[in-house]
Amino acid sequence: MNVALVHDWLTGMRGGERCLEVFCELFPDADLYTLLHVPGSVSPVIERRRIVTSFLQRLPDVERRYRHYLPLFPAAIRGFDLNAYDLVLSSSHAVAKSVRVARPERHVCYCFTPMRYVWDLYDDYFGARAPLPTRLLMPPLAAWLRRWDRRTAAGVGRFVAISRFVADRIRRAYGRDADVIYPPVDVSRFRLEEAPGASYLVVSALTPYKRVDLAVAACTRLGRPLVVVGSGPEEKRLRAIAGPTVEFRGWRSDAEIAELYARCRAFLFPPLEDFGITPLEAMACGRPVIAYGEGGARETVVPPGTADPPTGLFFEHQTVEAVIDAIRRFEAAPGQFEPKALRRRAEAFDLPVFRERIRSYLGVGAPEGRGC
């Protein structure tokens, strides 16, 4: 079978790229189409294949400033002609799902979310804190992008969402139903730690919608140690509001992050997230999660009072006071979270589970020499 994979861009290894790795393993001979590729930024499994990039690859400073070329994304993705392929499998959070195909029934989109810049999170990206020219230019552009995004959804035969939360967003944005296959956490990368450490932990890109400011402000006011792993445009502002108990580590290697999970007291997860791999990574180490109780976290974190062993606590509002209250509730009853039960919860989303579900959904056999 002649297969094409489509991914928005290849600039680093995040949750979407972990899913793409599995697609590459299932289809080792597939061509990979993407808006741009920073060589060496993704895993060898991805780097080894034939990677076809768009005209964006040749634009100035694109590796660092590719998001500034957002108005060109539609033309770039529609520039690919994939009509000759028997199967097109796109993994999309921006425009990959809008690639041109002659027969939509051959196109399956694994959708991380409809383009969040112009749908649910427009204000987070282009609201009051955006530069004035951006605030003036974006409303008509965003309206056009929403129409284009909805129209090109007709080129997808089947949508697969990463969560029920995203399936509902696909229904509202595109008027389409979606199946749900949760993305994977590679449990084997993490060691179970029975004894908690002293510091709370955040692992996140430092962008506005991630709401890392809530964790920083709460731990500052409580005087609790907090380690923040990540980088991004919010870092300067976060450092300005942080007290002496908050430590910024920047981006760390996978091995270092795994150790930080294992040694933390609990993992703080304040954003409204489509799914959220990081809470499951913390659970794989036996560490409980304190999360905003909306979005994908509702599908992974188990609160106290249910039939299943609890794996974390929720706070119901994205305010500093709500995070402080959740931390205090956690500290009042830390023994309610059993590390082995947290690990078992993460194993329900393990990499082999994802691989088998995708393989079965697409109706393909196991790659030669590798079981699923």
Sign of CA dihedral 5, 11, 15, 17: positive
pLDDT, average across residues 136-148: 85
Residue 121 pLDDT grade (very low, low, confident, very high; cuts 50, 70, 90): low
pLDDT, average across residues 268-282: 95
Give the C-alpha separation, 146 to 114, whole Å: 10
Q: What pLDDT was estimated at residue 365?
A: 64
Q: What pLDDT was estimated at residue 123?
A: 66
Minimum mean pLDDT range among 32-41, 120-129, 275-284 = 120-129
Above 80 in pLDDT, residue 256? yes
Residue 218 pLDDT grade (very low, low, confident, very high; cuts 50, 70, 90): very high
CA–centroid distance for 59 within its chain: 26
Write down the mean pLDDT value for the chain.
Answer: 92
pLDDT, average across residues 18-24: 96
Q: What pLDDT was estimated at residue 235?
A: 95
Structure tokens at 62: 């694109």
Residue 117 pLDDT grade (very low, low, confident, very high; cuts 50, 70, 90): confident
pLDDT, average across residues 208-212: 91
pLDDT, average across residues 248-266: 95
Tell me the domains of the chain and their CATH numbers.
3-181 (3.40.50), 187-347 (3.40.50.2000)
Instruction: Give the residue, 139 or 42, on which the prediction is more confident.
Output: 42
Q: What pLDDT was estimated at residue 370?
A: 42
pLDDT tens profile 313-368: 999 999 999 999 999 999 998 789 999 999 999 999 999 999 999 999 999 765 54
Q: What pLDDT was estimated at residue 126?
A: 63
Share of the chain above pLDDT 90, in %: 81
Give the C-alpha separation, 219 to 305, whole Å: 26
Q: What pLDDT was estimated at residue 136?
A: 73
Phi and psi of 202, rounded to 5°? -125, 130
Q: What pLDDT was estimated at residue 130?
A: 67
Give the C-alpha separation, 134 to 289, whole Å: 36
SS3 string, 215-245, reads HHHHHHHHCCCEEEECCCCCHHHHHHHCCCC
pLDDT, average across residues 264-277: 95
Structure tokens at 232: 């991004």
pLDDT, average across residues 130-154: 84
pLDDT tens profile 285-322: 999 999 999 999 999 999 999 989 999 999 999 999 99
Q: What pLDDT was estimated at residue 371?
A: 37
Question: Whats the size of the chain, residue-wise?
Answer: 372
Share of the chain above pLDDT 70, in %: 94
Q: What pLDDT was estimated at residue 13?
A: 87
Q: What pLDDT was estimated at residue 261?
A: 98
Minimum mean pLDDT range among 52-66, 122-136, 148-162, 258-272 = 122-136
